[in-house]
Structure formats: C-alpha cells, structure tokens
Structure 1
Amino acid sequence: MTSSTPDRSALGAFLRARRARVTPGEVGLPAGGRRRTPGLRREEVAQLAGVGVTWYTWLEQGRARNASDQVLDAVARVLRLDGAEHRHLMMLAGRGTATEPGPPMDLRPEHTAVLAKLLPYPAAVQTDCYDLVAANRAYRYLFADLDAYPVEERNCAWLMFTEPSWRDSLLDEESVLRDIAARLRARQPEHRDDPRWNALITRLRQESPDFVRLWESYEVKGERSQLRRYVSPRVGALDVQFQSLWLDRARGERIIVMTPTDAATTQRLERLESLVGAAPAWTAFGDSAAGGSAARA
C-alpha cells in the first residue's frame, strides 16, 4: 500500500452531499423558516465545527489544503457521519493508505473446499469490486446460468445493474442497488489508481442510468451482514442472510454466502440442489484456477 493523496474535488462533493441531508433539528438548531436548499447552511456547519466560514467554503470548493485531523473530525461530527462515512472522509483528505494495483486473487484449494462444503447454500469467492473469482453450483444457478456469461461480465455489480435476469430476482431492487453503489463509492478512493476499478465504474456509468443516479447521490456504506429477499426462477422466493466470510479484509477478498432465514427457504435451496446436483460443485472463473490446476471440481 502507498500513502493516499488528497482528492479535494471529491472531498468537496461528499461534504456538500452530506450537508444536504442533515436537518437543523438534528444538530440542535432552529429551522429558521423556509430554506432555499435542503439541509444545513455552510455557515452553520462552520459555526458548529468551530472553523471559519470562508475556510469551510474553500473545503467544499476543493480549495482548502492541509486540513487537520481535528478539523475533519469536527466536521464529521456536525455532519453526523457514521464509521464508514468518516473513514471515507479521511481517505478523500489524504489520510490512510491507497491500495496498490496487484495481481489477481490467488484462489486456493481451501477456498474452493469451503464453497463445496457450504452446499446447498449459495456461496462465491468475490473481490472488493464484486468480481466473481469462483462460485459453487447453488450460486451459479440461483438466478441464471452464470457459466454462460463472458468472464468480463461475471461481476455482481455489473450483473445486478445491467442483466435483467439478475435484476428481476431482487424483491427490494432499489435498496440492493443503492447498497451496491454505496459500498463501491466507499472504497473507490483507495482504488482510484487501479485500472480494474476504473474500468468497472466507467462501464457502469456508461450502461446504467440507475448506477449514475445512485453514484452521484454520494451515499457511502460499509460491509455488513444483511437480509436479502430474492426470487429464483427455478425454486421461487428466498429469504437469506447475506454475509461475508473474510479471506483478506485489507484487500476486500471474501467468500460471500447466503444462509436461509426460514424453513421454506431451506427447502427451496435443497430443491435447487436436487435440480442442479449433476453440475460441478464449484467453478473458478478466468485464469484463477485453484492451485493453478483445473477450473472445475
């Protein structure tokens, strides 16, 4: 990893977006009558953070240099940033470390063994930008035949935003798409020199108006376990707990797994296993075959 350099333009855009979402009442201020814009005024943020109005204005305009940690922490407090948002703010301000572009993930036999053992639960090995490195058969056939897609399209963000069969599986479409965009936004500053990340964001912006809308809303979220509701064309409604089992948290490499939250979902996943059980237990995508050997087992 290398030291991160400030991205003052993105920092200003993030602060403006967050300021628009905080009401006067949330920070103990009177509403003060009708406002021309939503959220707090710049002078209110400056006053509550204990900084000059001009300096805070420069911060939002990308003109301020060398903001101290104390000032950034004060602004974060006023804007009611959560942990993921605070971390994002500090990365944009040049704190922390940027991740150097590295080689593809090293898919190992112990990773694929876990994928096989998790059956009939859908599971996949995934990178920080949602590239799918390998998947078990429950995951591969959950929405469509994942093996049929070109390697460059085996990315969960790409599939959810642009592929109808995947998108139609979402019962809470707006919530899931918003979450994906927000998590990509949260980690993008530390990867802004990574061609893999830049190519994905560029393609999504070109092909998905919904991604553009959500990306430009500047929401930021961290990783967390969450309830997801899907409809599989093969077995019907599925309520699962979607979680990450970390392989390398610093690099964002993980095994994602969907565990059923009710008996009906358990039975439907068992039904899916009976329908596709003749397929290989797992498949590796691209050039990352486990241990450098065959891509299927």
Structure 2
Amino acid sequence: MNRRELADFLRSRRARIGPADVGLPAGRRRRTPGLRREEVAQLAFISTEYYTRLEQARGPRPSREVLAGLARALRLSDAEHDHLHHLAGSPPGPLSGPSREVRQSILDLLRRLPQAAAIVLSATYEVIAWNDLAAALLEDFSALSCNERNLVRRVFLAPHARERLLYSLDTEAFARTAARQLRATAARYPDDPEVARLVGDLLAGSAEFARLWASHEVRAEPTLRKTINHPMVGPVMVNCDVLDIADRDQQVVIYTAEPGSPSEEALRLLSVIGTQRMDVPG
C-alpha cells in the first residue's frame, strides 16, 4: 500500500467534483474546492474519521468494499478505479456495483440531439446524465439529490401522489418494469451495499413494490410510447427508444415526437423555454 500516493490521489479526485455533481447544495461558505471530506465519507458509507486518515496517509489498508464505495463517491473512471486499487495494495477485480460514469461519447451524443430529449439511466434507475431538452420536458435534474434523481425511488416512495406520476400518465407500467429490472440488477450485483440499501428501502416503504418483487419476474416489456404530462405545454406524446450501453450497464432513453404533430411543436417550444417557469410571477 502506497499511503502517500493514495492520499494525494484521493485529494485530487475529491477536488474535481462539485456538490451539484452528486446532488448536494453548494452552500454559501464553501471554501474547499470540490467536495468536503465528510461528504465523500457519507457518499462512500464510511466514517469521516476513517476517510480523513486515508487522506492524511495514516489509514490502514482499505477493504475492497471501502474501495468500491470510494470509487462510486468520487465517480472514478475504470482506469482510475484500477489505479485506486493498485495504490491501496489490492489488485483490482470486477466492479462490484453499477457504474455512474457516463462515457464522453455518450455525453456528446446527448448534446447532439437538440430536437430529442434524452437521459442516461444507471442500472438502479438513477438519472446520471441528461440534455437540456430532457430537463425542460421532464425536470431540472441538476437541482435534485441523488435519491431524488432515482426514478424507482420516486415512483414507489414519494410522499405525495403527484410526485409519483414521474411526468408520465402511465406510471403503473413503469413501476412494473422498474421492479422487474431492479430484481435483475440485484442478481448482477449481489455484494453491492447501495443496491441492497435501495431494495431494502423499497421493500420497507412500498407494499406495491413488495408485491411486484415477490413475483420474481425479471422480463420487462419495453414501453414504446408514453404521454408526458407537462405543466406548461400540456400532454406531450413521445416515442421512447432505449439504447443499451452493455459495458457500463446503463441505458440511454430518447424521447422524440412524431414529425408535424402538436407534440413536436411542444418540444420545439420547450427547447426555447428551457427550465424556466412561465407560470410564476416575475
């Protein structure tokens, strides 16, 4: 274990991540570049004292579980993940949990779709990337925490019925699909604490999810079309196309409207309006 190099590497990775990148408020008196130590510790599910000792080159060799948590919290690339393991004296193995890192080519693709709304979902249904039109059509995801950006949490655990609609009028179909795909995700990542916590929260907080989970269904029918109930432009009917990113266990969901339809005009209007609220007095 190279304690000094590990400490320097952790500090450098922490400094490059802004609070908004992980759904945390920036605060008015933030002097630390990037995340604070306690924020990284919280995201990695370890104590602040232990993480501080790692950054001060005084900590013991971290376990593979701790390294997996740090890799997720610091949003390390695959190469950085392997480097972290080598510095810690623990040869890297397969990633233990779903990846949140979105390939640059996919981010470029989102920006090149000005007439389509597009989001990237992790294997646990967290929205981890989006383009401007998706923020205007669905929600400004940059203003949400990680838990709030998790669509399966929203549909089963949101305290208010309106929040559970998840923009669409066919929420029940999405709930069935999400429960089935999450069971498959849990089977792929049996040792990941974040997946286990998500499933545990859903089982404890939603009788509907518990019923769907007990069915042991893992095959999900694709949703080819849905209607987005937008508060400003009204119902927007869109086609849904899903592209699988197999090596990252992620999905790109692309929403498009039929050419010449009122929904296409609504998307054009939203591309101009963006996320601003026209119904709030200035």
Shorter chain as denominator, the TM-score bin is 0.5 to 0.7
- Residue 257 (1) aligns with residue 254 (2): yes
Maintained 8 Å contact 2:132/2:274: yes
Aligned-residue CA RMSD (Å): 2.7
TM-score, scaled relative to structure 1? 0.53
User: Aligned to 2:237, what secondary structure does the other structure show?
Assistant: strand
User: Aligned to 2:129, what secondary structure does the other structure show?
Assistant: strand
> Where in structure 2 are the equivalents of 1:57-76 lying within 5 Å?
none
Equivalent residue, structure 2, for 1:123: 118
In structure 2, distance between residues paired with 1:253 and 1:187:
11
Maintained 8 Å contact 1:115/1:136: yes
TM-score, scaled relative to structure 2? 0.56
Q: 1:223 Cα deviation (Å)? A: 6.8
In structure 2, distance between residues paired with 1:228 and 1:136:
19
Equivalent residue, structure 1, for 2:182: 184
In structure 1, distance between residues paired with 2:187 and 2:154:
23
Maintained 8 Å contact 2:137/2:230: yes
Aligned residues: 180
Letter in 1 for 2:253: I
After superposition, the Cα gap between the structure-2 partners of 1:141 and 1:201, relative to the gap in structure 1 and judged at 3 Å, is farther
Q: Deviations over 1:21-73 (max 9, x none)?
A: xxxxxxxxxxxxxxxxxxxxxxxxxxxxxxxxxxxxxxxxxxxxxxxxxxxxx
- Residue 153 (1) aligns with residue 141 (2): no
Equivalent residue, structure 1, for 2:128: 133
User: Aligned to 1:105, what secondary structure does the other structure show?
Assistant: coil
In structure 2, distance between residues paired with 1:144 and 1:207:
24
Letter in 2 for 1:189: A
Q: 1:218 Cα deviation (Å)? A: 2.6
> Where in structure 2 are the equivalents of 1:265-284 lying within 5 Å?
265-276=263-274
Maintained 8 Å contact 1:100/1:193: no
Equivalent residue, structure 2, for 1:162: 157
After superposition, the Cα gap between the structure-2 partners of 1:153 and 1:253, relative to the gap in structure 1 and judged at 3 Å, is same
Higher relative contact order (CA 8 A, sep 6+): 1
For structure 1, which runs of at least 5 residues remain unmatched after alignment? 1-98, 279-297
Maintained 8 Å contact 2:136/2:275: no
In structure 2, distance between residues paired with 1:175 and 1:105:
25
After superposition, the Cα gap between the structure-2 partners of 1:198 and 1:227, relative to the gap in structure 1 and judged at 3 Å, is same
Maintained 8 Å contact 1:100/1:194: no
Max radius of gyration: which structure?
Answer: 1
Equivalent residue, structure 2, for 1:206: 204
In structure 1, distance between residues paired with 2:208 and 2:233:
28
In structure 1, distance between residues paired with 2:241 and 2:130:
15
Equivalent residue, structure 1, for 2:229: 231
Maintained 8 Å contact 2:99/2:248: no
Letter in 2 for 1:157: V
Identity %: 27
User: Aligned to 2:236, what secondary structure does the other structure show?
Assistant: strand
For structure 2, which runs of at least 5 residues remain unmatched after alignment? 1-93, 277-282
User: Aligned to 1:141, what secondary structure does the other structure show?
Assistant: helix
Letter in 2 for 1:213: R
Q: 1:216 Cα deviation (Å)? A: 2.1
Maintained 8 Å contact 1:225/1:244: no
